[in-house]
Amino acid sequence: MKPIGRRAVLRQILPAAAVPLLGGIALPACAQTAKIADADRAVGAALRQAMIAADMKTFPVGGVLLHNATGAVLHAIPNRVMGRLPDGKTATRDPTAHGERQLVSWYYENKRRLDLPEPGELTVITSLDPCIMCAGALLAAGFHVGVGAFDSWVGVNYRQDCQFQTLPPTLAERARNRFGYYQAGDSRADPPLYVRPYQGTPTLPFHDSRISPETYMGCGALFTAGLSAVNAAKGNDGGPPDTLSDPYYLPENSRIKTIYREIYPDAFTLKVPGWRQTRTPDRAVLQALDRVGGSNAVAFIDPFGNVVLCLGEEDGIDTALLRVTRAYAERRFSLREQDRDYPPDQWSTRYLTQPGYGAFVYRDAPDPQDARTILSFGAYGSTMAGPIPAGYERNFLYYRLRGGVSQADIDKTIAALPPFYTQTVKMELVHISS
Ligand SMILES: [Zn+2]
């Protein structure tokens, strides 16, 4: 049993936290009133978030954060990767805004203020098997994870055997002790398509109850159907560099330079021309990364060789890579939202493009045994979102090897990732040799 004080705190959280903390997104009614007591209601609550995501023309996946002991829903959130622009089309707003990753971030942002229970006492329920980014975030935090449908291309359990050979051994072991895939349907009554046996840890809340065929099929079929709707709604996500102008030559008070300097004061001051041909940015970028300090740092270089961002690691799951890709995307999206208020020669779409044409550069090779590295590798994959544009490969780089990390470890870790990362993105992390 939980100490009485903690339960009193949870009673306070529900009415107070559920509505205002959602940033305008309506919680399902169950989150504000009922407590969840079985797998079907838990996955059903995540599915309702996925339906909200589908309605927003973003990837139809959703998640809820549950308190194991009481079944209270602490937070619920849909995927928010795609955002709508004033022209009615959608564009990438934040490639890392998957439901599960956002729930982990929400937890760290509110843990102290709301006196939230430790992650081991909580479960993230998701409508679809987590991608590598979300799996890394969930493992780094230590939540239990209950899953609706499988994802045979991007999911951490894409082999559907619950062995997690997509992860380094120590993290796979942790996932086997934390993740579960609920039993679906009834093998005596339902057609085989709608039936799945339970897979995963026996410690997952509601592992002994099952989800209905409707909930199970809903999670998977909604995702499949929603992908084509996402593509149909999507506008131009950024053209090739030869259609753009170099933002380096914009006035110092231009809106593009100003918005990036809010987070990285030296944005667009360092230029490494010629790096695109060799994919070896010179030591000036390493010096910028060293100036950031901290346990590691990541820079984003645009196709013109401008260092747009250079940020360090922070607490929780805010790795340098996650911070950089979010900051680039969110600011670019917010510029695009306001482009039409400015003359065409100031439109952000003339200067900034999708990050696949640029490069993400680590100061130090990250340790593949660390869940935060898996999260970062996944965030890079989500940022690419598909094949790297032809001729722009080698856009994921590092300067230094240290702390017992080897290129062979990195290559092996990447080679084990689900097919999206190895076959679609064709991800590789390359050493910059001086
Ligand atoms: Zn994800």
> Measured in angstroms, how far is the CA atom of residue 156 from the centroid of ligand 1?
9
Q: Residue 279 pLDDT more than 80?
A: no
Q: What is the pLDDT of residues 201-225, one digit of tens each?
A: 999 999 999 999 999 999 999 999 9
| CA 277 to chain centroid | 30
| Ligand 1 center to 95 CA (angstroms) | 9
In this prediction, residue 10 carries a pLDDT of 43
| pLDDT attached to residue 94 | 98
Share of the chain above pLDDT 90, in %: 87
Rounded to the nearest angstrom, the distance between the alpha carbon of 82 and the centre of ligand 1 is: 14
The CA distance from 45 to 126, in Å, is: 9
Confidence of residue 28 (pLDDT cuts 50, 70, 90): very low
Contact status, residue 149 vs residue 114, Cβ threshold 8 Å: no
Q: Given phi > 0 = left and psi -120 to 50 = alpha, else beta, which region is 257?
A: alpha
Output the CA 260–ligand 1 centroid distance in Å.
Answer: 26
Whether the pLDDT of residue 15 is over 70: the answer is no
On the 0-12 / 13-18 / 19+ scale of CB atoms within 10 A, 369 is: middle
Q: For the residues 12-20, what does the mean pLDDT come to?
A: 37
Complete DSSP assignment for 370-413: SHHHHHHHHHHHHHH-SPPPTT----EEEEE--TT--HHHHHHH
Q: Is the pLDDT of residue 295 over 90?
A: yes
Beta strands in 53-121 (DSSP E): 62-67, 73-78, 82-84, 90-92
Q: Contact at 8 Å (CB) between 130 and 145?
A: yes
Q: How far is the CA of 99 from the centre of ligand 1 (A)?
A: 7
pLDDT at 4: 36
For residue 116, pLDDT over 50 is answered with yes
Which run of H or E residues covers position 338? helix 320-338
CA 20 to ligand 1 centroid distance, Å: 25
How many whole angstroms from 35 Cα to the centroid of ligand 1?
A: 26
Banded pLDDT at 34 (limits 50, 70, 90): low
Kindly tell me if the per-residue pLDDT of 286 is higher than 70: yes
Distance 299 CA to ligand 1 centre (A): 22
253 close to 179: Cβ distance less than 8 angstroms: no
Answer yes or no: are the C-beta atoms of 416 and 410 closer than 8 Å: no
CA distance 41 to 212: 10
Distance from Cα 215 to the centre of ligand 1, integer Å: 20
pLDDT average, residue stretch 342-353: 96
Going from the Cα of 270 to the center of ligand 1, the distance in angstroms, rounded, reads 33
Phi, psi of 295 (to 5 degrees): -75, -25
Residues in the chain: 434
- CA 100 to ligand 1 center in whole angstroms: 6
Return the structure tokens found at 55.
């309605």
Question: How many Å is the Cα radius of gyration of the chain?
Answer: 22
Task: Tell me how far the alpha carbon of residue 287 lies from the centroid of ligand 1, in angstroms.
Answer: 33
Predicted pLDDT of residue 252: 97
Q: Is the pLDDT of residue 12 over 80?
A: no
Asked if 175 and 135 count as a contact pair (C-beta separation under 8 A), the reply is: yes
pLDDT tens per residue, range 192-207: 999 999 999 999 999 9
Q: What is the pLDDT of residue 385?
A: 96
How much is the pLDDT for 32? 46
Determine phi and psi for 98, rounding to 5 degrees.
-75, 155
Whole-number Å distance, alpha carbon 350 to ligand 1 midpoint, is: 30
Check pLDDT > 70 for residue 264.
Answer: yes
User: Residue 9 Cα, ligand 1 centroid: separation in angstroms?
Assistant: 30
Rounded Cα–Cα distance for residues 141 and 111 (Å): 12
Summarize pLDDT for 232-243 with one digit per residue, the tens: 999 998 999 999
Distance 185 CA to ligand 1 centre (A): 25
pTM of the predicted model as reported, rounded to 2 decimal places: 0.92
Domains of the chain: 4-233 (3.40.140.10), 241-431 (3.40.140)
Q: How far is the CA of 59 from the centre of ligand 1 (A)?
A: 10
Q: pLDDT tens digit string along 370-399? A: 999 999 999 999 999 999 999 999 999 999
Helix spans in 126-241 (H): 132-141, 169-176, 213-233
Give me ligand 1 centre to Cα 129, in Å: 8
